A = this chain, B = another copy of it.
Amino acid sequence: MEHIINYLRTHRQQHLDELFDLLLIPSVSTLPEHADDIRRCAEFVAQHLSNIGLKQVEIMPTGGHPVIYAEWLEQKNVPTLLIYGHYDVQPPEPLDLWLSPPFEPTIRDGEIYARGASDDKGQFWAYIKAIEAFLKNDSVLPVNVKLLIEGEEEIGSGHLHQFVLDHAEQLKADAILLSDNSQYQRGTPTICYGTRGLVHGEIHVQTAARDLHSGSFGGLADNAIQVLADIISALKNEREQVTIPGFYDEVAMVSDAERANFESLPFDDNELKQEIGIRDVIGEEGYPPLVRRWARPTLEINGIVGGFTGEGTKTIIPAKAMAKVTMRLVPNQDPQKIADAAKAYIEQTLAPSSARVAFIGGADCRAYLTPMNHPIFEPVTRALRATYGKEPVFARTGGTIGVLSTFSNTMGVPIVMIGLCNPDDNAHAPNEHFTEELYYLGIEAAARALYELREWK
């Protein structure tokens, strides 16, 4: 293994140059005008996978942006790992807040600044560089690998679920490995073993055929915004609990071991307040912050609109109002059941007789969890310990990577997420960056993980 690490350390400049080439391509998935860039990016990645010796490299169509597939399956009696990543990026706007152009990668103070630097180009590229190192030096990999690099993660992976179902045999593996998340905190190697699920919806309220004059009808007609506010307010109680009947019924309890792990992780209210500019750290009563963030479901109103919001005064009773809602789910909650319960509660219990109220929602995905004590984490722990010189921590994420529950449901295999970047790297925001040193260490961590996993199973 040491010769691989030595090789990696002597090829850092090359690895940086190649990442820069990838970061130059503005593969923004949400904007139609970047369709050519998306295609160009997929071709760039696929060509590189062929160049380094991967087999069956293919740009595979989906209903949306294509998926890149590649494999190397030439070892006997070793596990097969499916490595996941995404080559699409968030839009860079607002452009004027970037200190250097988002698609002209630049190093300042040891940080690689570019859209996609950490999310996820820099992180998935680390695995490719690790694989290349083995193939170049040894002509074999310590494990078999399949790579699946998608182009729609930033727009919800809308076509990947079906793709995975349609190619279940081709994608079959013993475990799934990815890095599309950050370390728990700066300088802390992190194994992430769970994500939350998602349900989304819109609440539509209509109280009259048209907006009404508040002079003529104030005191006679209900107000769509008032009704919507009453509904939203009633969705949570004063203990910050979600009031949808049955919402918590199937929530998996956190084991004592896991709770002990949560409690061992540093969490500083004041640091968080500073970081995101909040006055209080708040949440569901009775649970400590990290349990609320990772292991308890939440409901958020993401947006609201209704009536007149321009300059000046418009004395209307608005006839319509709408709010967008998402709920983060935790293990054992069924997204469809939650969406149905929300619909029934909002439309039948909370809606007043004076309003037409509709909840239009749907299940996005379940939470996923690989038990913290799963044996696969032992070799991964060794890899991270060797790379970063300290013990990794175990963390969940409160976020959602929709395809993980699909993987988990179709394959029933463990999923390992290794955070390679810092938590404050501005993913999805201006001046996204990836610490140059963490990029190099990420390649080493990926190489060591492939190596350590050879005997797992």
Q: Which residues of A contact B (CB under 8 A)?
A: 155-156, 195-196, 198, 200, 207-210, 212-223, 225-226, 228-230, 232-234, 236, 272, 276-284, 289, 292-293, 296, 298, 300-310, 312-319, 321-324, 326, 328, 352-356, 364, 397-400, 428
Q: Which of B283, B298, B322, B354 contacts A280 (CB 8 A)?
A: B354
Q: Which residues of B contact A236 (CB under 8 A)?
A: 226
With both beta carbons as reference points, the residue of chain B lying nearest to A216 in the complex is identified as B398
Contact: A281 with B221, CB < 8 Å? yes
Q: Which of B218, B298, B308, B323 contacts A293 (CB 8 A)?
A: B218
A216-B398, A229-B304, A304-B307 are known; give 8 further A-B pairs, CB within 8 A: A195-B215, A196-B215, A219-B283, A219-B292, A220-B272, A220-B278, A220-B292, A300-B315
Q: Which of B232, B278, B316 contacts A208 (CB 8 A)?
A: B278
Q: Which of B198, B212, B218, B300 contacts A328 (CB 8 A)?
A: B218
Q: Which of B210, B298, B301, B352 contacts A307 (CB 8 A)?
A: B301
With A and B bound together, what is the CA distance between A212 and B293 in angstroms? Answer: 13
Q: Which of B156, B293, B313 contacts A302 (CB 8 A)?
A: B313
Contact: B278 with A219, CB < 8 Å? no
Q: Which residues of B contact A313 (CB under 8 A)?
A: 156, 198, 200, 302, 324, 326, 364
- 30 A-B residue pairings within 8 Å (CB atoms): A156-B312, A156-B313, A198-B313, A209-B277, A213-B399, A214-B398, A215-B328, A215-B398, A218-B328, A220-B289, A220-B293, A222-B278, A223-B300, A225-B301, A225-B303, A225-B304, A225-B323, A226-B301, A229-B230, A233-B233, A280-B354, A302-B313, A303-B307, A303-B316, A303-B318, A304-B304, A304-B305, A304-B307, A307-B324, A309-B322
Contact: A282 with B354, CB < 8 Å? yes
Q: Which residues of B contact A319 (CB under 8 A)?
A: 277
Q: Which residues of B contact A308 (CB under 8 A)?
A: 302-303, 324
Q: Which residues of B contact A221 (CB under 8 A)?
A: 276, 278, 281-282
Shortest Cβ distance from residue A357 to the other chain B in the assembled complex, whole angstroms:
11
Q: Which residues of B contact A156 (CB under 8 A)?
A: 312-313
With both beta carbons as reference points, the residue of chain B lying nearest to A289 in the complex is identified as B220
Q: Which residues of B contact A208 (CB under 8 A)?
A: 276-278
Contact: A399 with B278, CB < 8 Å? no
With both beta carbons as reference points, the residue of chain B lying nearest to A303 in the complex is identified as B307
With A and B bound together, what is the CA distance between A232 and B225 in angstroms? Answer: 9
With A and B bound together, what is the CA distance between A221 and B276 in angstroms? Answer: 9
Shortest Cβ distance from residue A66 to the other chain B in the assembled complex, whole angstroms:
21
Q: Which residues of B contact A304 (CB under 8 A)?
A: 225, 228-229, 304-307, 309, 321
Q: A213-B428, A313-B326 are in contact. Are A280 and B230 (CB under 8 A)?
A: no
With both beta carbons as reference points, the residue of chain B lying nearest to A222 in the complex is identified as B282
With A and B bound together, what is the CA distance between A232 and B226 in angstroms? Answer: 7
Contact: A298 with B354, CB < 8 Å? no
Q: A293-B216, A298-B218, A301-B225 are in contact. Are A279 and B353 (CB under 8 A)?
A: yes
With both beta carbons as reference points, the residue of chain B lying nearest to A209 in the complex is identified as B277
Query: Which 9 A-B residue pairings sit nearest by Cβ, starting from the closest?
Result: A209-B277, A215-B399, A219-B292, A303-B307, A229-B232, A233-B233, A218-B298, A303-B309, A280-B354
With both beta carbons as reference points, the residue of chain B lying nearest to A313 in the complex is identified as B200
Shortest Cβ distance from residue A268 to the other chain B in the assembled complex, whole angstroms:
12
Shortest Cβ distance from residue A402 to the other chain B in the assembled complex, whole angstroms:
11
